[in-house]
Chains A and B, each alone.
Chain A
Amino acid sequence: MAATAVTGPRGGVPRGRDPGRPAPGRPVQALAAVAGVLLGLPVLVLIVRAVSDGSLVTALGMGVVVDALSLSLITTSASLVLMIVLGTPLAFVLARRRFRGQWLLEAVIDLPIVLPPSVAGLALLLVFGRRGLLGPTLEVFGITLPFTTVAVVIAQTFVAAPFFIRSARTGFAMVDHDLEDAARVDGASERQLFAWITIPLASTAVTAGLVMSWARALGEFGATIMFAGNLERRTQTLPLVVYSEFQTGNLDTSVAAASILVLAAFGVLIAVRLMHWGRVLDVRGVGG
C-alpha cells in the first residue's frame, strides 16, 4: 500500500537503475532512506498504536470523538459547498480573463496556503470578531460569528479554498476552445455551454481540487481554535480533539482521533494517485 503510494502508478516505470543516467551513490541512497523513515515512521507508529491497543475502535464509541467526527463531516461539507459557490466563479474568471493586477489577486488567493493557520485565525478575528472590521456591523443584524459552528466553516473555507480555486482554474484553462466554439456554432447559449461543455470537461480538475480542499479543511486546526474556539458539539472538530485530549493527558483518545485523520488524509492522497489527478492538481509554487 505505502509502496504503491510512494512509487506512483504501477507498470509505468521499470524498477532499479535508470540506464544511461548518473545513478545516486551510496551516501545519497542512505540519506534518501533516512528521509523516507523520518517522514513515514511517525505516522506509521501512530496508526499502529491506535489499531494495536484498540483505542481506534474504543474511540469510535466515545462521545467526544463521535461528536467531533460528525461535526467535522458537517462543517467540511458546508465548507465545500461554500467553496463551490464562491470559488467556481472566481476560478472561471481567473482562467478566462486577463486583467490588470491579476497576478496580485492570484497571489492573495494563494496566501492561505503558505500562511501559518494561527495567522489566518488572527486575521479572521480582526475581520469577523466582535471588535473586528465587520463584527460591529454584523452585530447590528444580530449576527455574532466567533465561537459558532459558522466560524468553523469560515475558517476551513479560508484555508482550504485556494486548493480548489487553483485546480478549478487549471481545469477551466485546459478546456479545448475548439469544443466550446463548436457548441457555440451549434447554437448553445453561454450558460448551456458552461453547464454542458466547460464544467464536464473541467470536472476532473474540479473534483481533484475539491478532494484536496476537503482534506485541508478536515485538518484545519489553528484558525479554528483561535477564531471559532473549542467547544464540544459546536466548534470542536477532530483536530481540536487531538490537541485538547493530549493537553489534558488523555493520550489514547488523542491518538485515536489522530489516526482517524491520518486515515482520511491518506485515503485522499491514495485517491489522487489512483485517479491520476496529479497532472490536473495545480500544485505549483506560490507566484507560479
Chain B
Amino acid sequence: MVVPLLAIALAACASNGGASPGATGAAASATTAPGAAAGELQVYAAASLKAVLAKVTDAYETANPGTRVTVSTDSSAALETKIEQGAPADVFLSADTKNPQALVDMGLASGTVTTYAGNLLTVIVPTSNPARITTPGDLAKPGVKIIACVDGVPIQGYTVTLLENLVKTAGYPTDFAARYAANVVSREDNVSAIVAKVGLGEGDAGIVYVTDARTTATVDTVAIPPSANVPATYGGVVVRASTSRDAAGAFLAWLAGTDGQAILASFGFLPPS
C-alpha cells in the first residue's frame, strides 16, 4: 500500500519539473525569478557583522541601483555548514579565514579567500557589573558566570588563543585558562548570543569582538592588554553554486575596497591584517 503511494508521489514531484524541488525551492524560485536574478544577492555573514551590514547593504544598493542585497547572519561555522548543505548563498562573509578556506578546499567556493576586515577582542560585562570585573584576570575568579561559544565558532578560536596569550602575561596564573573554562556556564552558537545574555545580566562576562561591544548600551567593556589581544581576520568568498557569481564578486570587491572599508571603519572594524 505504502510503496505504490510513494511511487505516485515521487512521480508527481518529478513531473513538476521546472520548479526547483526541496525545502528552499519556494523561497529560491520566488526571489530568483527570471530577469531579476542578477539583481538579488544573498549574503551569509558572521553574526558580528549584523549591525555594519545594514549600513553596507544600504550603501551598496544605492551605488548599484537594481541590486537587492539580503543578509542572513549566524556563526561563521554554522553558515559554512549550511553552504555545504546547499544553502542558496552568493557571498559568504566569515569572521575568520578558516571557514571560507574550508569551502575553497572543498571546491565549493569560486576563487580564493578575500580578507576584508579585522577586529580585536574585548571583555564585556553588564553595565551593573555584578561580578565586579575590572581586568581580564578577574574572569578566573571563582563563581564568575562566563558566557562563551561552542568550539568551531571563530570567536571561540580567538578566545582560546587569547587565553594562551594571557597565561604568558605577567600577573596571570598558569592555570588561568582552566579557571576560565570552569567558570563557563553556557556555550552559545554565535557571538551575538554572548552579547545578548551578558547584556541581559544573566551572564557576568564574555569575550567578544570590540565591534560587538559598540552595538549595545547594555554592556561595558574591560580592556584586554594589547600585547595579549588576538587580531581577528575576516575573510569572505563567492559561493561556487551561486547563480550570480559576477555580482557576488563585485560586492565582495566593493566591501574590501575604499567604500566598504570606510563603513567598516565607522563601526570600529580594522583593515584586514
> What residues of chain A have their CB less than 8 Å away from a CB belonging to chain B?
2-3, 30, 32-34, 36-37, 125, 129-131, 144, 146-147, 228-232, 234-236, 243-244, 246-251
A244 and B187 within 8 A (CB): yes
Complex: how many Å from CA A125 to CA B199? 13
Q: Is B58 an interface residue (CB 8 A)?
A: no
Interface residue? B138 (CB, 8 A): no
B8 near A30: Cβ-Cβ < 8 Å: yes
Q: With A34-B12, A229-B188, A244-B189 given, name 9 new contacts (CB 8 A).
A: A33-B12, A34-B9, A130-B201, A130-B202, A229-B185, A231-B185, A247-B150, A248-B151, A251-B85
Give the one of B77, B189, B203 with max A CB within 10 A. B189
Q: Is B120 an interface residue (CB 8 A)?
A: no
A-side contacts of B80, CB under 8 Å: 249
Interface contact B2-A247, CB-CB below 8 Å:
no
Q: Is the CB of A129 within 8 A of B8?
A: no
How far, in Å, is A126 (CB) from chain B's closest CB?
A: 10
Task: Contacts A249-B81, A249-B84 given; indicate if A30 touches B12 (C-beta within 8 A).
Answer: yes
Q: Does B163 contact A (CB under 8 A)?
A: no
* Distance in Å: Cβ of B237 to nearest Cβ of chain A: 16
Which listed residue (A2, A129, A236) contacts B202, Cβ 8 A? A129
In the complex, how many angstroms separate the beta carbon of B42 from the nearest chain A beta carbon? 19
Closest to B23 in A: A42
Given known A229-B186, A247-B77, contact A125–B9 (CB-CB < 8 A)? no
Instruction: Report the bound CA distance from A219 to B152 in whole Å.
Output: 25
Q: Which residues in chain B, 218-243, are within 8 Å of chain A measured between CB atoms?
A: none
B63 at the interface (CB under 8 A from A): no
Q: Which of A32, A36, A247 contacts B75 (CB 8 A)?
A: A247
Nearest chain A CB to B223's CB is how many angstroms away? 25
Q: Which residues of A contact B77 (CB under 8 A)?
A: 247-249
Q: Cα distance A247–B191 when bound, in Å?
A: 13
Beyond A2-B2, A37-B10, A247-B78, whether A131 also contacts B186 by CB under 8 A is no
Query: Shortest Cβ distance from A81 into chain B, in angstroms?
Result: 25
Per the bound structure, the CA–CA distance linking A125 and B147 in Å amounts to: 16
CB-contact partner of B9 in A33, A130, A144, A244, under 8 A: A33
Contact residues in A for B1 (Cβ distance below 8 Å): 3
B27 in the interface (beta carbon within 8 A): no
Task: Determine how close the nearest CB of chain B comes to the CB of A118; give it in whole angstroms.
Answer: 12
A147 and B9 alpha carbons, distance in the complex (Å) = 46
Tell me which residues across on chain B come within 8 A of A250, comparing CB atoms. 152
Instruction: Output the least CB separation between A222 and chain B (Å).
Output: 13
B interface residues, how many (CB within 8 angstroms)? 36
Type the 1/0 row for B118-134, where 1 means its CB is closer than 8 Å to any CB of A.
Answer: 00000000000010000
Q: Is residue B170 within 8 Å, beta carbon to beta carbon, of the partner chain?
A: no
Q: Which of A144, A146, A228, A248 has the largest count of B CB atoms less than 10 A from its CB?
A: A248
Partner of B186, one of A32, A147, A247, A251: A147
Proximity string of chain B (1-34) to chain A, C-beta cutoff 8 Å, 1 when within and 0 when not: 1100110111011000000000000000000000
In the complex, the answer to whether B185 meets A131 with C-beta atoms within 8 Å is no
Query: A9–B162 Cα gap in the complex (Å)?
Result: 61
Q: Tell me the bound Cα distance from A211 to B80 in angstroms.
A: 38
How close is B205's CB to chain A, nearest CB, in angstroms? Answer: 13
Distance to closest chain B CB from A88 (angstroms): 32
Of B6, B8, B152, which contacts A249 at CB under 8 A? B152
Interface residues of B in 144-192 (CB under 8 A from A): 145, 147, 150-153, 184-190
Cα of A142 to Cα of B174 in the assembled complex, Å:
30
How distant is the Cα of A232 from the Cα of B184 in the complex, in angstroms?
Answer: 10
Q: Mark B60-92, 1 if CB is under 8 A from A, else 0.
A: 000000000000001101101100110000000
B-chain residues with CB within 8 Å of residue A235 when the two chains form the complex:
186
Q: Would you list 17 pairs from A and B whose C-beta atoms are within 8 A, ordered by A residue? A: A34-B12, A37-B5, A144-B145, A146-B202, A147-B186, A229-B188, A230-B189, A231-B185, A244-B187, A247-B74, A248-B77, A248-B81, A248-B153, A249-B77, A249-B81, A250-B152, A251-B85
Provide the bound-state CA to CA distance between A30 and B130, in Å. Answer: 62
Provide the B192-225 mask, 1 if CB < 8 A to any CB of A, else 0. Answer: 0000010011110000000000000000000000
Q: Which 9 A-B pairs have the closest CB atoms?
A: A229-B186, A248-B152, A147-B185, A247-B78, A33-B5, A37-B9, A33-B9, A247-B189, A249-B81
How many angstroms from the CA of A133 to the CA of B69 in the assembled complex? 41
